[in-house]
Amino acid sequence: MAYWRRTPRQMQAATDAVAVAPDSAVVQKPPKPRGRMMRQYDLVERVRSYNPDTNEDLLNRAYVYAMKAHGTQTRASGDPYFSHPLEVAAILTGLKLDDATIVAALLHDTIEDTEATRAEIDQVFGHEIGALVEGLTKLKRLELVSREAKQAENLRKLLLAIADDVRVLLIKLADRLHNMRTLEFVPPASRRRIAEETLDIYAPLAGRMGMQEMREELEDLSFHVLDPEAYAVVKHRLDALADRNRNLIGEIESQLSKNLQKNGLAARVYGRRKQPFSIWTKMERKSVGFEQLSDIYGFRIVLGDIEACYRALGVVHTTWPVVPGRFKDYISTPKQNDYRSIHTTVIGPGKQRVELQIRTEEMNQIAEFGIAAHAFYKEGGSPTERLKHESNAFAWLRHTIGILSESANPEEFLEHTKLELFHDQVFCFTPKGKLIALPRNANVIDFAYAVHTDVGNSAVGCKINGKFAPLSSELQNGDEVEVLTSKAQSAPPSAWEALAVTGKARAAIRRATRAAVRDQYAGLGRRIIDRLFARAKIEYADDKLKGALPRLARTSIEDVLVSVGRGELKASDVARAMYPDYKEERLVRYGTRKALAAKAQTPPHPARAASVIPVRGINSELPVKFAPNGGAVPGDRIVGIVTPGEGITIYPIQSPALKDFEDEPERWLDVRWDIDETMPQRFPARILVHNVNEPGSLAQIATVIAEHDGNIDNIHMSRRSPDFTELTIDLEVYDLKHLSAIIAQLRAKAVVARVERVNG
């Protein structure tokens, strides 16, 4: 196991740290490996364990040189600065790298941050190490200087800087890994930027170099910083699952081993669970929930040679049912980054879907260490020499750098590279040139939320490469996207949630629409309370309500308002909680049909108009619906009836159904139409048509309605007599005038004997 994987104790600490409720907004501290600083002999011991011929003197000199050079410098954490290059070197011993790499890691910050010079390092440690340290110094300067420059340019320079010696990249990745592990001590703003850069550039680069473990840890640490809530949710559920399946992994491991052994195959079998970030991206990519993910656990079967791998595959396939479509042979056809393995999925012990990776020890090393594995696995030649001959990843790197030297500008370079490096992402730019990396298939909504939640919430339109485009447009590599926002839009349409591809956008939309709906309920609750208090001539005061919260079993005023708005709490109960001697005024039948009908004749008093609830039609975020038997159309005088848990039902004032609510004045609401003239919307109405039974009469009626732009939703026919049929027609019209026009046209038809409107 590589050194950089945490020890079991650290894993446990990490688990404990995030074992909180998944909906907790608390930002968890990332797991951090702490403890005493490594000593000189620890480092030498680590190197000696895989390289008996190590030059101990060289390592010791570098240790002392770096320690002296950094002197009393400290890191953001307060630790001595020297602890950082030391940890970076230690990470690289996990990759079993050569002395020059370990020494360069110890020295990697000396030229930039101390009195040390290239010439001196060349003199003391030789030209090879001097060149490595200088390569890293260039990279560091790149980070400092061009923080605001386009990331495409940065990536280009980064790749150019590592062109001379790929070990620079390995040290740089280890450097970034250690910085990510200790990121909590860095100010929040730069923390985010570093995490973004890690996720955009370094993690994919590690993956592209075949260093999967490195990539996973970089991704997870970044994910933790960039989306702590999502991280906590996934981690929490992974832990819960691990708890539930505590014995299952061991059982599957031992059954697999036993079966292979029975067939004369010596194999190392171990299960490992996937990391939160890879689970999260899988959930995003496939739009599936956690429960639907079958491959949270992967098992590795590591064998002696390739022949044993195929025999093991045979054993597995004859022992357990195979899940079709999941078999892949990367041994005969390696991936571009040198990855080799056989993949298959079976229904294993306990009817559990088990994802298996079958490979040799060497393949396993390459799968974990990628390009670094080549540096130590084979004998002979310098590490870079070996890389040149054996590594596809290295070939890719050379190829990419080749393109680099030919492309005129960074964008063009990115155009060439990104598809290869980041094949599952698209790269787009803000008008200011900031690079936004998104998963493939992402659209402008995702882009807007990736820029900023506020930009997403207020997005109303966009320009892609200067042209107006719908927000749902799928983005292509290199698109320049300008998001147009409007202050008037306080919350995004809830339908966006289904359009967004990224979890970040979806979660933000859900949060914003939930908050908007809650606001509306609170507003509604406030109006209901205001009205009851005005009617009862008692005074409302926030302070007074605050004191009554325990009696109402609510924790905040807003909670009370929302509950009243939702109809879960009666306004009269609120009044009683505030004024224990409050008595409901049953005598004032304010809300009766007569009273309201009378009131409806007079225009609302300006002072009262504020408490009238606007009905925007059926698209309102508040659950507003129309009377089930007939509906209501603009132009009708309307009344709202609150139904607990369901919302508001709108009735025309003349509806006979209102009689049923006469004894419950607290359920009556003043409502008014609030129709946007520029956006014609249809509303439900019902008419009853008596027509003469003759061939084609129904067709004539339907034609009249259609010709006058009425939408027929439903027709119910019942024959009343041999001569007449009664038709109940549900239709959708724009308003009362529209409905009246249709009725008048129907009446003009000879086949129509009588038409009347049905009210709720």
Q: List residues binding Mn ion (CB under 5 A).
A: 109, 175
Which two tokens mark 466? 């200067």
Closest CB to Mn ion: residue number: 175
> Exposed e or buried b for every residue in 378-408, given b needs 16+ CB within 10 A?
eeeeebbebbeebbbbbebbeebbeebeebe
Given a contact cutoff of 8 angstroms between Cβ atoms, the answer to whether 466 and 491 are in contact is: no
Q: How many CA atoms lie within 13 A of 336 on its CB side?
A: 11
Which residue, 70 or 156, has its beta carbon nearer to Mn ion? 70
What residues have CB less than 8 Å from 510, skipping those under 6 apart? 497
CA gap 110, 96 in Å, rounded: 23
Closest separation between CB of residue 175 and Mn ion, Å? 4
Q: Which of 45, 112, 362, 415 is catalytic?
A: 112
- Give the helix, strand, coil percentages of the chain, each rounded to 5: 50, 15, 30
- Listing DSSP states for 718-747 in one string gives EE-SSSEEEEEEEEEESSHHHHHHHHHHHH
Which residue, 109 or 216, has its beta carbon nearer to Mn ion? 109
Would you call 355 a catalytic residue per the annotation? Answer: no
Closest separation between CB of residue 280 and Mn ion, Å? 28
Q: What is the dihedral of CA 356, 362, 363, 367, to 10 degrees?
A: 100
Which residue, 109 or 636, has its beta carbon nearer to Mn ion? 109
Q: Which of 45, 79, 113, 474 is catalytic?
A: 113
Closest separation between CB of residue 253 and Mn ion, Å? 39
Closest separation between CB of residue 57 and Mn ion, Å? 24
Which residue, 217 or 338, has its beta carbon nearer to Mn ion? 217
CA gap 691, 713 in Å, rounded: 19
Closest separation between CB of residue 45 and Mn ion, Å? 23
Closest separation between CB of residue 109 and Mn ion, Å? 5
Helices 228-244 and 8-18, packing angle to 10 deg: 120
Given a contact cutoff of 8 angstroms between Cβ atoms, the answer to whether 670 and 531 are in contact is: yes
The values of phi and psi at residue 587, to 5°, are -70, -40
Would you call 112 a catalytic residue per the annotation? Answer: yes
- Listing DSSP states for 487-508 in one string gives TT--S--TTHHHH--SHHHHHH
CA gap 90, 75 in Å, rounded: 18
Which residue, 14 or 106, has its beta carbon nearer to Mn ion? 106
Which residue, 109 or 227, has its beta carbon nearer to Mn ion? 109
Given a contact cutoff of 8 angstroms between Cβ atoms, the answer to whether 362 and 339 are in contact is: no
Which residue, 75 or 416, has its beta carbon nearer to Mn ion? 75
Beta bridge partners of 687: 729, 757
Closest separation between CB of residue 136 and Mn ion, Å? 8
Catalytic positions, please? 112-113
